[in-house]
Structure 1
């Protein structure tokens, strides 16, 4: 019975070596876990930064879409401008015709008066 209470020196040495190996293994695992946590936090920060950047770009795109003139709008503006220019040209032509009619009428009347006086 006394042999049972006395620890076996080989078993004690093996147990001590086992504890040391377990301690080393746990320390290595703890270091790996800390490294993984650090990488995860870095990834989270980068993801947040990218999310903010995407939000900013999305806002800029919304602004551009609000103020951008489409091709159809430009075509419509061009059409209205051309209609106004055509109307202005018609008015100028009408005014020119009226002025020429008055001038030629006055000349004709002046020539008629001169013919009457000369006769």
Structure 2
């Protein structure tokens, strides 16, 4: 496993960070103040969680004037999916497709 994957798994392991990702999925480009208003924790605490998400590449900050907006980057999650989930489900899907074809054969 690579360091990048380790950072993604670490970031996704925390429910607060998953909640932040859900908020950004629902509406991308939020400020720290907007994200903080959804959580019962200090601004500093939210900043620490955002830093972990940024280090994992799951959140990308962008300056817009005086504001810093946060955007969801789903690519690292997709890479995890492709490596760790897709390869395990492919065999089952192939088996089900073969079973379906066999059952639908004309007698």
TM-score (norm 1): 0.27
The structure number with the bigger radius of gyration is 1
Structure with more helix by fraction: 1
Output the TM-score relative to the length of structure 2.
Answer: 0.30
